[in-house]
Amino acid sequence: MQELTNATPKARIVYVGGEKGRVALTKNFAEAGYALIAQENASGADIGLIDLRGKIVSGKKAQAIANLLRRKSPESSVVIVIDPYLDAPARKVLRRYGELVAIGEKPDALIARCRHILRLRNIAEESGERLKSLATLSRLAEFPPIAAPQTPLRVLVAGEAGPVALSAVNAVRPVTEQCICVFSAGQAMRAIDAMRFDCAVFLPTRENDPLNSLAKALKRHPKHNSLPVVFPLHDPDDADVYAKRGASDFILTNHVGADLPVKLQVVSRRARLLKTMRRFLNACEGDGVRDSASGAFTATFLAEHGARLCSRADQSGRPLSLIILKIHTASRERGEPEPGRRALHQAARLINRVTRAEDTTVRIAADTFLVLAPATTEENAHLASLRIQGVMENTVFRSADDQLLYSVRIETAAIARPEGFCIEECVALAIKALQESASLKPLSQQSLQ
């Protein structure tokens, strides 16, 4: 099979379906950075994709294909692509064997679904590997339990009154403890601030509906960014438009009555588990686990956890990238020697805010940090390093006595781990890349120190 992909794809997706569908999807997935591979190469794949569009749906056949894909790649998720007009009984049968995604002419909804599955997979894998590393270290480590609460659902339905809104409220009422229905974005915003919801259903009626802006604002809000927002769509080809507006998941309006209760239960459980795993990844601490000055992980933890991530990368075939950052202060005229304890703590906190939950920030020297980015290509790691550099260089730091305000300059470099390299070799390669990057800078930039 000819693959229109980059040299290092973000993920490998097995396609099972007709030749026409494969040709149409290969280019779209390649543009998103994913490799669409044949069924015979399913070993170690990230996602199994079963395309049932235009075919007579058979539950037994779908089950047989899903079981075959899971045997070849036990860790992969199964996604079943269906036609929008497929009836409710057939959807109920297929839902047992994989996640359903209804698409039309454009595969944007399918690509967005695959991206979300991979994101959840990466966080879950990092939680497991980090838990193993903490258990292996002979240190007193403290971490919260990974357990999603089993409380009844609380759902917010927001949108103008109409048949879809009425159908949504009637559908979710039997599976929820509390279902609040509001008619405007302002009412929805006040409800979210006053009460706790597990998920929300937004029903915008026009392109400039304020509900679209509210969904995007919730994604950026530190308190509400874990709230999943489901958008019912009249046309599956509109999924890409609403994904950019903050939608977490989609459902077709003619599927609301039959599928919305199941959709909200799955979405809310995933959101709860994702929030719990993120809390676990941010809270792991203990003697020898996190540096007391910066709050970043220590070299002791890097030796154990980095070796585990390298082995995992060799086993799965996924890329592992490293970002290295060195801090230079712009002023040392008075006050404590910089970067001091407070500056290091501020720097590590900023790095953790900019990077993902599954990334591991380690302090390897007095003024140098290393970020391990699993399942990340070198190109994306380079973009992440530029984002970290931009945030830190535009932040004002304070000395411990608050008498000195100063800025910092950041040197960065990003590398992809060569296959077979151990963590010590990777760190050495990253340090060498940082030194070469600094030596290649123009003299005018070096004189600004």
141-200 per-position pLDDT tens digit: 666 677 766 778 899 999 988 899 999 999 998 888 889 999 999 999 999 999 989 999
What is the pLDDT, as a whole number, of residue 245?
Answer: 72
Return the DSSP state at 221. Answer: -
In CATH terms, is domain 11-119 a member of 3.40.50.2300? yes
Strands (E), 153-239: 153-159, 176-182, 199-203, 229-233
**Domain 153-281, CATH class in plain words:** alpha beta
Mean pLDDT, residues 287-310: 87
CB neighbour list of residue 58: distance below 8 Å, 6 or more residues apart: none
233 bridge partner residues:
252
Same CATH fold assignment for domains 11-119 and 153-281: yes
Mean pLDDT, residues 6-25: 80
What does the block give as tokens for 247? Answer: 């939608």
Judged by DSSP in three states, 209 sits in coil
What is the pLDDT, as a whole number, of residue 304?
Answer: 92
* Percent over 90 (pLDDT), the chain: 31
* Percent over 70 (pLDDT), the chain: 90
Tell me phi and psi for residue 87, to 5 degrees: -75, 165
pLDDT band at 241 (very low <50, low <70, confident <90, very high): confident
For 113-143, how does the pLDDT look when each residue is reduced to its tens digit (9 = 90+)? 898 899 999 999 999 998 888 888 866 566 6
For 260-296, how does the pLDDT look when each residue is reduced to its tens digit (9 = 90+)? 999 999 999 888 888 888 888 888 777 778 887 778 8
Mean pLDDT, residues 356-383: 92
Mean pLDDT, residues 332-336: 49
Domain definitions of the chain by residue range: 11-119, 153-281, 290-446
Residue 21: is its pLDDT beyond 70? yes
Radius of gyration of the chain (CA): 24
pLDDT band at 340 (very low <50, low <70, confident <90, very high): low
> What pairing do the DSSP bridges indicate for beta strands 176-182 and 153-159?
parallel
Mean pLDDT, residues 347-376: 90
Q: Which of 205, 200, 232 is nearest to 217 (CA)?
A: 200
What is the pLDDT, as a whole number, of residue 312?
Answer: 92
| Assigned fold of 290-446 | Alpha-Beta Plaits (3.30.70)
For 397-413, how does the pLDDT look when each residue is reduced to its tens digit (9 = 90+)? 776 666 677 778 889 99
Residue 82: is its pLDDT beyond 60? yes
What is the pLDDT, as a whole number, of residue 330?
Answer: 57
